[in-house]
C-alpha cells in the first residue's frame, strides 16, 4: 500500500526566519534547509506555510517565499531586543498566533506539522494535539551534545532547553536526524523510540554550487591569482571556532615566513550567539597573531557571492566544536574546493576523509596547520582532493532530502491515522501484522 503524500505542510521556525541571510545572527544551515526543502515540496504540488516570529513591525503578516510557499510572521513579544534565550517566555504567544491562523480555515487544513529546533518543537507539540495531525521534528542541534563539547569561554545550553528537548522527543511522531550519529544520539541521550527516528541527510544545491573558474573568482574578490587562500564561511561565534583557522594560519607563517606574501585568510560571516558579546574579537585576535596583512573579512554572502568565495579558496576550513551536519562543507566541496574539518558530529559524513578533504581529530594550531598545509600548499594534492570533493558532494541533493521528508510525512500520517482509528473504536494498541494496512485502507 502506498502512503498518501500531504497536501499542505505547516513548518515551524520560531527563532529564525527563512527570509534571513544565513551567516549572521541566528541564521545558518537550518534556514537553508527549510528554504530548499520547502521550495522543492511546492514544486511537487505540496503547499507549505512557514511560521516564524516577527522581528520587525515592517514585516508583512504573510510573505511569499516562492510559488506555493508562504511565510507567516507571528507577533510574539517585542519585535527587537529578544535573543534566542529569551524566546521560551514567548512560546505561548507564538503558539496562539499559529493556532489562530489555522482556525480561520476548515478543519484539516494542515496534514502534518514539521518543527525545526526545540523551541518550534514545543509549539508543534501543542499544534499536533489541537489539529489532530502528526508532528515531525528536526532538532538540528542538541543541548546535551553541545554541552559535552563546549568551546573555551562559551556558555552551556540552559536546563530549560534540555528539558524542552526531552519533552519534544517524547511527543514527536517522527524524529529526523541529519546523520546516523545524530539519530543514535537522539536514542542514547534522549531515549527516543528507534522506530520513530529516521536519518535523512541534508543536501546541497548542485545547480548553484559547482566548479568554476578559480582565477575569475579571485579577481572578483580582489585576490591575486597565485595566492594561497584559506576560507571560513559561517557565523562568527566560539562554537564555529574560526579562531582555530587564525591560529593555524599564524603557525603556517611561523614555519614559513615567505608564505606571507601569498597567504590570504578569508572570513565570510557575521557575529552570532555568544560571539555578539564581542563582535570584533576575531579581528583583535588576528591583530595579536600578526595576521593583519593577510586577513580579509567579508559580510555574510548569498547567491553568486558565496559561490565565488568557495571557488576562490584553496581549502575551506570547518573547525567547529560541534556540527549536526555542516552544510558549508558540502557547498564548498560541490564547488570543487577541498575541506579541512574537525572530526566531530556529522562532519565525518559531510567530508570523506582523504578523498574530499581531511578530518582533524582536535583543535590545536599545530595539527590544523599540518592539515591545511597538506592541502593548500601541495597543488597536486589539492587538485586530487578537489575532484574527490565534487564526486562526494554529488551524493547529496535537496531533491533526495525532500523526497525522503515527504515519505516520512506520509508514513507518520498513516500511522497517526491508524492510531486515531484504534482509539475511536477501542481496539488494542498493538495490532497483528497486516492489520495496520487494513485500517488505513478504510
Confidence of residue 279 (pLDDT cuts 50, 70, 90): low
Q: What is the mean pLDDT of residues 144-173?
A: 92
Question: In CATH terms, are 8-203+398-418 and 214-394 the same topology?
Answer: yes
The confidence score (pLDDT) of residue 436 equals 43
Q: What is the mean pLDDT of residues 353-363?
A: 97
Q: What is the mean pLDDT of residues 350-359?
A: 98
Answer whether residue 349 shows pLDDT above 70: yes
Answer whether residue 158 shows pLDDT above 90: yes
CATH number for 214-394: choose from 3.40.1190.20, 3.40.50.2000, 2.40.30.10, 3.90.1150.10. 3.40.50.2000
Domain boundaries, the chain: 8-203+398-418, 214-394
Answer whether residue 276 shows pLDDT above 70: no
User: Are 169 and 191 spatial neighbours (Cβ–Cβ below 8 Å)?
Assistant: yes
User: Are 151 and 111 spatial neighbours (Cβ–Cβ below 8 Å)?
Assistant: no
What b/e sequence results for 323-344 when a residue is b if at least 16 CB atoms lie within 10 Å of its CB, and e otherwise?
bbbbbbbbbbbbbbbbbbbbeb
What is the distance between the alpha carbons of residues 62 and 120, in angstroms, rounded to a whole number? 19
The confidence score (pLDDT) of residue 428 equals 67
At 209-261, the pLDDT tens digits run 999 999 999 999 999 999 999 999 998 989 899 999 999 999 999 999 999 99
Look at residue 347 and give its three-state secondary structure.
Answer: helix
CB under 8 Å to 207, separation ≥6 — which residues?
A: none
Residue that the C-alpha cell 510559488 belongs to:
67
Annotated binding site for Mg(2+): 310-311, 313, 337
The confidence score (pLDDT) of residue 154 equals 80
The confidence score (pLDDT) of residue 192 equals 98
At 1-17, the pLDDT tens digits run 356 789 999 999 999 88
The angle subtended at Cα 148 by Cα 142 and Cα 153, nearest 5°, is 105
Annotated binding site: 15, 21-22, 26-31, 84, 117, 141, 161, 235, 240, 301, 310-311, 313, 323, 331, 337
What is the percent of the chain with per-residue pLDDT over 70, rounded to a whole number?
A: 94
Answer whether residue 442 shows pLDDT above 90: no
What are φ and ψ of residue 341, in 5° steps? -135, 155
Answer whether residue 437 shows pLDDT above 50: no
Annotated binding site for 1D-myo-inositol 3-phosphate: 15, 26-31, 84, 117, 141, 161
CATH of domain 8-203+398-418: 3.40.50.2000
Look at residue 339 and give its three-state secondary structure.
Answer: strand
Answer whether residue 81 shows pLDDT above 90: no
Q: What is the mean pLDDT of residues 112-141?
A: 96
CA separation (Å) from 225 to 6, 263, 264, 418?
50, 11, 11, 62
The confidence score (pLDDT) of residue 439 equals 37
Whole-number average pLDDT of the chain: 91
| Model confidence, pTM | 0.89
* Pairs from 151-157 (Cβ < 8 Å, separation ≥ 24): 151/238, 151/239, 151/241, 151/321, 152/238, 153/238, 153/274, 154/237, 154/238, 154/239, 154/274, 154/321, 155/274
Instruction: Dig out the grid coordinates for 271 from the structure.
Output: 557575529
Answer whether residue 430 shows pLDDT above 80: no
Q: What is the mean pLDDT of residues 324-339?
A: 96
Confidence of residue 305 (pLDDT cuts 50, 70, 90): very high
User: Are 265 and 291 spatial neighbours (Cβ–Cβ below 8 Å)?
Assistant: yes
User: Are 338 and 357 spatial neighbours (Cβ–Cβ below 8 Å)?
Assistant: yes
Annotated binding site for UDP-N-acetyl-alpha-D-glucosamine: 21-22, 29, 235, 240, 301, 323, 331
Q: What is the mean pLDDT of residues 98-122?
A: 94
Nearest to 263 by CA among 272, 253, 248, 255: 253
What is the distance between the alpha carbons of residues 272 and 208, in angstroms, rounded to a whole number? 26
What is the distance between the alpha carbons of residues 130 and 113, in angstroms, rounded to a whole number? 11
Answer whether residue 85 shows pLDDT above 80: yes
Answer whether residue 286 shows pLDDT above 60: yes
Confidence of residue 303 (pLDDT cuts 50, 70, 90): confident
Q: What is the mean pLDDT of residues 71-97?
A: 90
The confidence score (pLDDT) of residue 334 equals 98
At 379-392, the pLDDT tens digits run 899 999 999 999 99
Q: What is the mean pLDDT of residues 357-380?
A: 96
Answer whether residue 162 shows pLDDT above 80: yes
Nearest to 322 by CA among 161, 165, 88, 141: 141
The confidence score (pLDDT) of residue 273 equals 53
Amino acid at each position: 500500500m502506498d502512503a498518501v503524500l500531504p497536501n499542505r505542510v505547516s513548518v515551524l521556525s520560531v527563532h529564525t526566519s527563512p527570509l534571513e541571510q544565513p551567516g549572521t545572527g541566528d541564521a545558518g544551515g537550518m534556514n537553508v534547509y527549510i528554504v530548499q526543502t520547502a521550495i522543492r515540496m511546492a514544486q511537487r504540488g505540496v503547499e507549505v506555510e512557514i511560521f516564524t516570529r516577527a522581528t520587525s513591525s515592517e514585516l508583512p503578516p504573510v510573505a511569499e517565499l516562492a510559488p506555493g510557499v508562504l511565510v507567516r510572521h507571528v507577533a510574539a513579544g517585542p519585535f527587537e531586543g529578544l535573543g534566542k534565550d529569551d524566546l521560551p517566555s514567548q512560546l505561548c504567544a507564538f503558539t496562539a498566533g499559529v493556532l489562530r491562523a489555522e482556525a480561520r480555515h476548515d478543519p484539516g487544513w494542515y496534514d502534518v506539522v514539521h518543527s525545526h529546533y526545540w523551541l518550534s518543537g514545543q509549539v508543534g507539540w501543542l499544534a499536533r494535539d489541537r489539529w489532530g495531525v502528526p508532528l515531525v521534528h528536526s532538532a538540528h542541534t542538541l543541548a546535551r551534545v553541545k554541552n559535552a563539547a563546549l568551546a573555551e569561554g562559551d556558555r552551556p545550553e540552559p536546563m530549560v532547553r534540555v528539558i524542552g528537548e526531552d519533552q519534544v522527543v517524547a511527543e514527536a511522531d517522527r524524529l529526523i536526524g541529519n546523520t546516523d550519529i545524530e539519530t543514535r544520539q537522539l536514542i542514547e541521550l534522549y531515549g527516543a523510540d528507534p522506530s520513530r527516528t529516521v536519518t535523512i541527510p541534508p543536501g546541497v544545491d548542485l545547480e548553484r554550487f559547482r566548479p568554476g573558474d578559480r582565477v575569475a573568482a579571485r579577481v572578483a574578490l580582489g585576490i591575486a591569482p597565485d595566492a594561497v587562500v584559506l576560507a571560513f564561511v559561517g557565523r562568527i561565534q566560539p562554537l564555529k571556532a574560526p579562531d582555530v583557522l587564525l591560529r593555524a594560519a599564524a603557525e603556517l607563517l611561523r614555519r614559513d615566513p615567505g608564505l606571507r606574501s601569498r597567504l590570504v585568510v578569508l572570513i565570510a560571516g557575521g557575529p552570532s550567539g555568544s560571539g555578539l558579546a564581542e563582535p570584533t574579537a576575531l579581528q583583535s585576535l588576528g591583530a595579536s597573531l600578526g595576521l593583519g596583512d593577510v586577513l580579509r573579512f567579508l559580510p555574510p554572502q548569498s547567491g553568486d557571492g558565496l559561490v565565488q568565495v568557495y571557488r576562490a579558496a584553496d581549502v575551506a576550513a570547518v573547525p567547529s566544536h560541534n556540527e549536526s551536519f555542516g552544510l558549508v562543507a558540502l557547498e564548498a566541496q560541490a564547488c570543487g574546493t577541498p575541506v579541512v574539518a574537525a572530526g566531530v558530529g556529522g562532519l565525518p559524513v559531510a567530508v570523506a576523509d582523504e578523498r574530499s578533504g581531511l578530518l582533524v581529530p582536535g583543535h590545536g594550531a599545530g595539527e590544523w596547520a599540518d592539515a591545511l598545509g597538506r592541502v593548500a600548499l601541495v597543488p597536486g594534492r589539492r587538485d586530487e582532493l578537489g575532484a574527490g570533493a565534487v564526486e562526494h558532494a554529488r551524493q547529496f541533493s535537496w531533491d533526495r532530502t525532500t523526497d525522503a521528508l515527504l515519505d516520512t510525512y506520509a508514513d507518520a500520517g498513516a500511522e497517526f491515522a491508524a492510531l486515531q482509528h484504534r482509539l475511536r473504536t477501542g481496539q488494542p494498541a498493538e495490532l497483528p501484522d497486516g492489520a495496520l494496512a487494513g485500517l488505513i485502507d478504510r
